[in-house]
């Protein structure tokens, strides 16, 4: 690998202050330099000898240059996310000097040392962020100078031919791509797993990649980074509910068990890709799976708050006993209907599939048989 003179000079400029980054260590004592990488150690070097030794360790030099000069931003979410993209150790720049550089990554995938990462970046390193597939790669795979670019597309398009996708390079385009689902319906929850495919962003800079991801999934990188640093500020249900005003003032009256049903309805992976970290209140966890997504949800979102208002009203009603006549198959059919609607499967049930209780003709038949002239289920309230 040829190392650009600029890269070498930039590193030499800082060598006398000491360098410790991603396995590369340079130290100066009384005008003599010591160079250490995982491959070996050289000591007692003058400046020319250090320059030669660094030139022989081009991967470490260009890696240092990319992260310290091009990316910069020590301690920022942007930098941590870009390091996650290429499976680099996730410690802050301040810690990169002292942390074991090749420990496990946050998702269990082993973090890569510089030589392995350079091999992988030639082909591209793939990561998934919700429904986004991200590839980190070298600008020039045949003769890498350390500069990376990033490609981004829908996970379902990972094997698609680029010629079949609509190619974008402006991060702001992501906002429009995320507005409607594949059926043209508005997506009120940006982290719902309904992002349509058919597009690609290619050759993005690191800054543009992070901006694009944040247009698709707002605040996910920042919250992921806060969690990584152990300072995710979680607002649990009760404190969120109690600070509501106006029409949402009532939602703190939603019973605790209903909050669990609500979390099961809205916050599981099939409905939202954020991993719910909020609970009923601090120390009182909901017995509902929070999901496995890479980015956390730190507080009930506006969609959940709005839905909670409706459920608060519904849960304030008293339960009553009704008598209605149904066959065993009809009661089973009601279960199938509710399941199909809750799982969003009604569009998939073919008209000819009359064996499925949620089939449209089966539902219409049940309505014709069991609804009265006012279009309501024939049922009689039973006095207690």
**Gap between the Cα atoms of 170 and 147, Å rounded:** 20
Give least dist CB 19 to ligand SF4, A.
42
- Kindly determine how many residues on this chain lie close enough to bind ligand SF4 according to the rule CB under 6 A: 12
Give backbone dihedrals phi and psi of 255, rounded to 5 degrees, phi first.
-60, 150
* Binding residue (CB under 6 A) for ligand SF4 from 300, 337, 358, 366: 300
Give least dist CB 305 to ligand SF4, A.
8
Question: Residue with structure tokens 């030099």?
Answer: 61
> What radius of gyration, in Å, describes the C-alpha atoms of the chain?
28
Please identify, among the stretches 124-132, 172-180, 298-306, 360-368, the one whose residues bind ligand SF4 according to the rule CB under 6 A: 298-306
Q: Is 127 in the site for ligand SF4 (CB under 6 A)?
A: no
Best CA proximity match to 104, nearest among 123, 118, 91: 91
Instruction: Tell me if 105 sits within 8 A of 84, measured CB to CB.
Output: yes
Length of the chain: 384
Question: Residue with structure tokens 């068990």?
Answer: 257
Beta carbon nearer to ligand SF4, 136 or 301: 301
Report the SS3 class of residue 319: coil
Q: Which two tokens stand for residue 89?
A: 């150790």
Beta bridge mates, 167: 200
Instruction: Tell me if 209 sits within 8 A of 200, measured CB to CB.
Output: no
Please identify, among the stretches 35-43, 205-213, 239-247, 294-302, the one whose residues bind ligand SF4 according to the rule CB under 6 A: 294-302
Q: Is 191 in the site for ligand SF4 (CB under 6 A)?
A: yes
Report the SS3 class of residue 104: strand
Give least dist CB 241 to ligand SF4, A.
12
* Binding residue (CB under 6 A) for ligand SF4 from 26, 82, 234, 267: 267
Give least dist CB 60 to ligand SF4, A.
41
Q: Is 272 in the site for ligand SF4 (CB under 6 A)?
A: yes
Please identify, among the stretches 145-153, 195-203, 222-230, 297-305, the one whose residues bind ligand SF4 according to the rule CB under 6 A: 297-305
* Binding residue (CB under 6 A) for ligand SF4 from 266, 286, 308, 358: 266
**Gap between the Cα atoms of 297 and 220, Å rounded:** 8
**Gap between the Cα atoms of 225 and 296, Å rounded:** 10
Give backbone dihedrals phi and psi of 291, rounded to 5 degrees, phi first.
100, 170
**Gap between the Cα atoms of 279 and 234, Å rounded:** 9
Q: Is 297 in the site for ligand SF4 (CB under 6 A)?
A: yes
Q: Is 276 in the site for ligand SF4 (CB under 6 A)?
A: yes
Give least dist CB 39 to ligand SF4, A.
45
Give least dist CB 268 to ligand SF4, A.
8
Q: Is 200 in the site for ligand SF4 (CB under 6 A)?
A: no
Q: Is 304 in the site for ligand SF4 (CB under 6 A)?
A: yes
Q: Is 11 in the site for ligand SF4 (CB under 6 A)?
A: no
Best CA proximity match to 91, nearest among 101, 71, 82: 101
Give least dist CB 355 to ligand SF4, A.
34
* Binding residue (CB under 6 A) for ligand SF4 from 274, 308, 311, 362: 274
Question: Residue with structure tokens 């942007």?
Answer: 78
Q: Which two tokens stand for residue 52?
A: 């030669």
Beta carbon nearer to ligand SF4, 11 or 301: 301
* Binding residue (CB under 6 A) for ligand SF4 from 301, 308, 340, 349: 301
Instruction: Tell me if 235 sits within 8 A of 91, measured CB to CB.
Output: no
Instruction: Tell me if 35 sits within 8 A of 19, measured CB to CB.
Output: no
What is the contact surface with ligand SF4 in residues (CB under 6 A)?
189, 191, 266-267, 272, 274, 276, 297, 300-301, 303-304
């Amino acid at each position: 690998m040829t190392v650009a003179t600029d890269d070498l000079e930039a590193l030499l400029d800082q060598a006398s202050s000491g360098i410790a980054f991603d396995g590369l260590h340079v130290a100066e004592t009384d005008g003599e330099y010591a160079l250490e990488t995982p491959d070996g150690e050289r000591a007692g070097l003058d400046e020319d000898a250090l320059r030669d030794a660094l030139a022989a360790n081009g991967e470490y030099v260009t890696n240092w240059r990319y992260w310290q000069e091009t990316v910069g931003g020590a301690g920022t979410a942007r930098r941590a996310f870009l390091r996650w993209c290429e499976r680099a150790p996730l410690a802050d720049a301040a810690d990169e000097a002292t942390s074991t550089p090749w420990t496990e990554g946050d998702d269990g995938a082993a973090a890569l040392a510089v030589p392995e990462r350079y091999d992988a970046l030639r082909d591209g390193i793939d990561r998934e962020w919700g429904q986004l597939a991200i590839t980190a790669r070298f600008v020039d795979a045949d003769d890498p100078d350390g500069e990376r670019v990033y490609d981004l597309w829908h996970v379902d398009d990972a094997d698609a031919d680029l010629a079949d996708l609509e190619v974008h390079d402006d991060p702001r385009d992501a906002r429009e791509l995320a507005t409607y689902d594949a059926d043209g319906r508005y997506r009120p929850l940006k982290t719902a797993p309904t992002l349509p495919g058919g597009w690609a962003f290619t050759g993005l800079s690191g800054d543009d990649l992070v901006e694009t991801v944040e247009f698709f999934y707002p605040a996910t990188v920042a919250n992921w980074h806060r969690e990584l640093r152990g300072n995710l500020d979680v607002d649990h249900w009760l404190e969120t509910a109690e600070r509501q005003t106006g029409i949402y003032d009532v939602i703190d009256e939603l019973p605790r068990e209903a909050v669990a049903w609500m979390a099961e309805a809205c916050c599981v992976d099939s409905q939202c890709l954020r991993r719910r970290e909020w609970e009923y209140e601090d120390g009182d966890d909901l017995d509902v799976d929070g999901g496995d997504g890479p980015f956390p949800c730190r507080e009930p979102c506006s969609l959940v708050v709005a839905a909670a208002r409706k459920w608060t009203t519904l849960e304030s009603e008293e339960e009553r006993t009704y008598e209605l006549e149904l066959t065993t198959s009809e009661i089973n059919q009601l279960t199938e209907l509710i399941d199909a609607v809750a799982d969003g499967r009604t569009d998939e049930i073919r008209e000819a599939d009359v064996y499925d209780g949620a089939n449209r003709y089966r539902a219409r038949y049940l309505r014709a048989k069991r609804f009265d002239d006012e279009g309501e289920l024939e049922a009689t309230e039973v006095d207690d």
